[in-house]
Structure 1
Amino acid sequence: MPGINVKDVDQAVVTNAVAAYLKKKGKLCVPDQMEYIKTAKFKEIAPENPDWFYIRCASIMRHLYHRSPVGVAALTKVYGGRKRNGVQPSKYCRASDGCIRKALQALEKIRLVERHPDGGRKLSAIGQRDMDRIAYQIVTKQREQEHAADTLIISD
């Protein structure tokens, strides 16, 4: 995988690919209450996507790839948003720390994330390797599609 890492690829594509990888791997332990909880108190309803926990774990891994170490409190700021207060002005509100903590604990259990000695958590060497491998696969797939499109145009 020469010279390709997560920073070279579209981040939405990386997050979806890592979420699919985590789901396919089957080792990520999804807590039972995840189908009932909301991701933040400013949200009106729970997530509709049944795979939202895998996507949140992939997003946390991507965030840890870029900025490490990060604690639960910092991630609640990242996933926070606007709380609508009716006729009063909207205010910023942090995300729920319970689902973030459970996601980090699940990622720690499969050894993709580890605790940092100074506090917080960081991406482990295994997690970084897996994410770089997924980014490399995305880039090679895009290059194959471009090459196939170029040969189709040339042959016409």
Structure 2
Amino acid sequence: MGFCSEDDCRQFLAIMPFFEKALTDSGIILLKYWLEIDMAEQERRLKNRIADPRKIWKLSPMDIESYHRWYDYSQARDDMLAATDTSWAPWFVADSNDKRTARLNIIRHLLAQIPYRHLPAPDVSFPPRDKAGDYREPERSCRMVDDYYGTQAQRAAAQEDGEAV
């Protein structure tokens, strides 16, 4: 794709594990995820982008090129994973053919990687509300944002359209 030369790429892949080691040695929890889709899913998503006027804006020349060069991209991915998958900064590969399932699996995995300390719950109590005094709630004259997702039926309709809920 011309983003960098072969030498630049080799140098980057050689240096990256040392950079990531410095990050993790300083206490940073470094989590790297590769969201894997198969050829059929890539094609399905690209065709959906083309067919849906709400999604066509997402389509880029890179998408078409990545479709065309599937095997080149796969080799580059394999090389990158091999060069930068280390014990201190491993790659985690997530099957992402189903976006929702992938997101949930990654969230769960990510949260499991973070060491948590139990913190005691603070004792919270609310004071009595102050008196209204002269305050009166005005009639709304503002322009309100339409509530598209406030009801179960609307959420179900959005899911049928493939929108994130």
When the two structures are superposed, what TM-score results if normalisation uses the length of structure 2? 0.25
**Max radius of gyration: which structure?**
2
Give the number of the structure whose residues are more often helix, by fraction: 1
Relative contact order (C-alpha < 8 Å, sep 6+): which is higher?
1
When the two structures are superposed, what TM-score results if normalisation uses the length of structure 1? 0.26
